[in-house]
Every structure is written in structure tokens, then in C-alpha cells.
Amino acid sequence: MKTSRRACAVFIFLLGAAGAAGAGEPAPIRTVAHVHSAYSGRKAPDMRLTLEIARQRGIEAVIFTDDAIADFEYGLWPLRRLIKAAVNRTSILRAGPSLYLEHIASLRKAFPKMIIIPGVEAAPYYYWSGSPFSSLTINDWNKHLSVAGLERPEDYEDLPVLGNRRLDRFAFGSLWPLLLLAGAALLGKARRRRSAAVAGAVGVLFLLNNFPFKTPAFSPYDPSAGWKPYEAVAAYADAKGFLCFWNHAEAPNWKTPYRLGPRVFTRTAPYPGCLQAVPQTDGFGALLEGDRTMTRPSGEWDQALGDYVQGRRKKAPWGFGELDYVGEGARGMTITSVSMDVHASSRNAAALLEALKAGRFETVAPEKGRALSLKTWRVQSEGRSAGSGETLTGAAHPAIRISMEPVGDSTMTVRVSLIRNGIVISHQTVTSPFSIAVPDDLGGEKRAFYRLDARWGANGALLSNPIFVFND
């Protein structure tokens, strides 16, 4: 129901020089995620240079997510392992997880006041379509998940991604050429030497092709895997306690086949349905490349949040900020193009990851250098309150408090939408700094989520994570 049809009052108070987020509450940690380095190739900069730039720009925490593995190959049937073309690019598994973590450890010593978290961008699966005699397409190569908090070499070595040969499984059926060799022996005894030679040669050829008699969990020649490879990565991350979220789910740049070489293309269609298809993840990159349909009221994010509220999924999905950073200015991106203000209990890696997994952060994308800081985001009732990622119980008539300040001394006209269960219940255009109090009445609704969507200029955005109210 729209605000104009509801008998609720909306109060707007200009703050002037407003105070901090709350008494005794530590300042949020300005964090950037999905940052690449030379371990991903792509002409990305060395980690040290990126950290220097980040420190100068006021970034306090950097989550590196270099490519887990960037190998792909196509083999010609029926001898796919003997007659094949392969591309092997720089990645963590190719360079060695131990070397990667040693580099992280040295940088933690060099930048003691910064929080540095290692992780990967995982491409769990791809599949081929087309023909080598016309054109071939690698499908879903750019359907990615970020996994962060991997601190041991085995955390990387056990990632269930296509191309990680360590996890290939023994396939008893791949020993079938032994039957040809046995047949060749029988033919030889029967003095059918020519037939025995042919059977023996074919058997040896296919035995060499099938060696070492292992296959991946999902074949790159089978398009029927669907979401299962992504579920495997999400389940692995969940079991290990890692942070795991979808990357660039609405990026349009891979929708049209992109030429990799003569008669070889790659294509990945946008995948906004990922949140509901794989509910084990912690969420998705809302800004910048999940901000087309997924963040709209009643869009894919709200649908997944509704599933959580109604008990149809275990984990609430959070909206993350992700850069896909490969260097200052590359793809029009800088280290401050999008960041997260994380409300952690202390300023260390473990506390930061815990806060991110709990949804205690908001995501900010500045517009021409102008940004907002969310000072208050609480749902209150009878002296009790809850913030981002938290749940308030027994609150049939909650009040929602919002206040923001500009970063720096500039003022901005801000369009503020308060969303409950996918519906905009309050929309205000205000000038920062400001404070808004919105009383609400849940009526007969037993459960609800609230989230905040603030916009300024052409591209400026601040997205909160949801606060939940459960009255059953």
C-alpha cells in the first residue's frame, strides 16, 4: 500500500552536524571486495600497488579474489584427451596456493593497519556448444562466485571447480579398452593376427586417451549440469565457514558471443535467478552489476528475502559491493567505485568476515566523488531495536529510523525509498544531511523485512541490508 493511502506520519529532521552511528559503536570499516592482482593475469597490478592506492583513498580492508583456475580445453571426440587444444592462464592454483598465501602474509606485515583477506573468484563450470568444423562457444565461463577467507593451501586445492584435476574421480568405466586388449589376445591365439593387431592398437590408443582413468564431476561437453556445479562450490564454502557471493550476475557484456580466436567464442547470459537457484550462498554483488532488475522492489533480491522470511531458505541473502578491479581506471573502474561500510565488532579479518556473513554492512557507489554515510538504520519497537542483518521480534507497530550524512562537506538531493516485503512503503526526496522516522503497521503480516534504497545524481547509490521483524 502506498504511503499516501496510509495514515502514517513521516517526519524529516535536518541534522546539521549529526553525531555518530550510535553511542559506543565502533566506526564502520570501509571495505572493497572482488579485487584482482597479478595472480589473475589480465594485466592486473601487483597486490602491493593496489594496497598503496587503497590506503591513500581511505580504504581500510581489501578482499582479494583472484582467479581460482583459468584453464579450459576442447578435445576432439572420441579421443578428447589426445587430440585437444588447451588454454592455461595465470591463476592461484596454477601459481600455487602456498606462494599466494605467503605473499598475503608478507603484505599483512607491510600494511599492519589494513585488513587483507585472501580469496578466489571461482568459475565452477563451463560447457562447449557448436562444432570445431564451424564455430565453438564456451558457455557460462563468466558465471562466477567469490569465495573469501581461505587461509590454508588446502582450502584452494579442494575447491570443487572444473579444471581442478586434484578432485577428478576414478572412473571404472574408463578401463573399457582393456576389453579390447583381452579380445586382441584371444584373436592372436586364434591366429587372426591382423584382427588382433587392429584390436590391440585401438585398445592401446584408447587406454592412453583415458589415462589416468579419472573424470571431473561435471563434463564440459554436457550442458545438462545446470546449477549443480555452483551448488557444490556454495556448499563447500558454507561447510568451511567461508564468505561466498555471486559476482556480476547482471553484467551485459558477455551476453553477446565474444570472439576469443578463430571460430572460438565465449558467452554467458545474465543470471539474476542465481539467488533462488542456489540458496546456500551469502548473497550477490548488488552494486555495481546486480543493480538492473535484482535490486528493484519485488525483484530477485526481494523474492529471495521473502523465501527466507517465510522459512523456504536457511540463509538470508545480502547485497554486497563488488569491484571486479583489475587496475586503476581499467573498465572505467577505480578502487573507490563501490565499497562497503562494515559494522564489525573489532578491526580484524575474523570480525570483518563475521560481520559480512551476518549482513552488518551497507554498500555505497559514489557519484562523481559524492557519497553518503548511513548513520542510522534501525527498526524500533517498545524500547527495543534491530539493525542490518538482525531480527526484531514482537513488533506489530515498528518505527523505522534512517539518517544519513554526506561524505565531505557537499550537500545532495537524495531519493530515499523504504521497502517492506518488496513493496515501497515510503519514498522521500530530501537534502542531506537528514533524518527520517517512518512509523509502520504490519497489520496481519507475521513476518517482514525492511531494506533501504537511496539514490542521488545519475548513478550514486546506497543500499542497506535488510532488517527482519518476526511476530510469530
Q: Cβ of 159: how many Cβ atoms within 10 Å?
A: 25
Average pLDDT over every residue of 167-179? 94
Kindly tell me the sign of the dihedral angle through the C-alpha atoms of 441, 443, 449, 452: negative
What does residue 468 show for φ and ψ, rounded to 5 degrees?
-110, 145
> Does residue 253 share a domain with residue 138?
yes
CATH number at residue 12: 2.60.40.10
pLDDT given at position 465 = 98
For the chain, give the mean pLDDT: 92
pLDDT given at position 408 = 80
Show the domain range for 91: 29-148+243-342
pLDDT given at position 4 = 38
Task: Compute the distance between CA of residue 253 and CA of residue 263 in angstroms, rounded to an integer.
Answer: 19
> Does residue 316 share a domain with residue 265?
yes
Strand ranges (E), 229-388: 243-246, 258-261, 264-267, 283-287, 318-321, 339-342, 361-365, 372-381, 384-386
> Does residue 334 share a domain with residue 196?
no
pLDDT given at position 84 = 93
Q: Give the alpha-carbon dihedral of 309, 313, 316, 321, to 10 degrees.
A: -130
469 is a domain residue: yes
Task: Compute the distance between CA of residue 95 and CA of residue 124 in angstroms, rounded to an integer.
Answer: 18
**What is the band of 213 on the pLDDT scale with cuts at 50, 70, 90?**
very high
Find out whether 210 and 174 touch, Cβ atoms under 8 Å: yes
Average pLDDT over every residue of 40-66? 94
347 is a domain residue: no
> Does residue 205 share a domain with residue 58?
no
> Does residue 276 share a domain with residue 202?
no
> Does residue 39 share a domain with residue 2?
no
235 is a domain residue: no
pLDDT given at position 21 = 40
Residue 425, pLDDT > 80, answer yes
pLDDT given at position 43 = 82
Burial (CB < 10 A; 0-12, 13-18, 19+), residue 414, is buried
238 is a domain residue: no
**What is the band of 73 on the pLDDT scale with cuts at 50, 70, 90?**
very high
Kindly tell me the sign of the dihedral angle through the C-alpha atoms of 136, 145, 166, 214: negative
pLDDT given at position 343 = 98
CATH number at residue 49: 3.20.20
> Does residue 462 share a domain with residue 379?
yes
Choosing from 308, 342, 376, the residue where a domain stops is: 342
Residue 13, pLDDT > 70, answer no
pLDDT given at position 451 = 98
Residue 15, pLDDT > 60, answer no
> Does residue 128 share a domain with residue 8?
no
Average pLDDT over every residue of 135-145? 96
Cis peptide before 288 (omega within 30 of 0): yes
Total-model pTM: 0.91
- Weakest mean pLDDT among 25-34, 103-112, 250-259: 250-259
404 is a domain residue: yes
pLDDT given at position 210 = 95
Average pLDDT over every residue of 199-211? 95
**What is the band of 329 on the pLDDT scale with cuts at 50, 70, 90?**
very high
Q: How many domains is the chain partitioned into structurally? A: 3
Burial (CB < 10 A; 0-12, 13-18, 19+), residue 262, is exposed
> Does residue 207 share a domain with residue 304?
no
Q: What is the DSSP letter of 402?
A: E
pLDDT given at position 5 = 36
350 is a domain residue: no
pLDDT given at position 2 = 38
Find out whether 360 and 388 touch, Cβ atoms under 8 Å: yes
Find out whether 87 and 61 touch, Cβ atoms under 8 Å: no
> Does residue 402 share a domain with residue 336?
no
Number of residues that this document lists for the chain: 472
> Does residue 18 share a domain with residue 45?
no
Q: Amino acid identity of 87?
A: V
> Does residue 138 share a domain with residue 60?
yes
232 is a domain residue: no
374 is a domain residue: yes
DSSP H helices in 111-227: 153-157, 177-189, 193-210
pLDDT tens figures, 270-297: 999 999 999 999 999 999 899 999 999 9
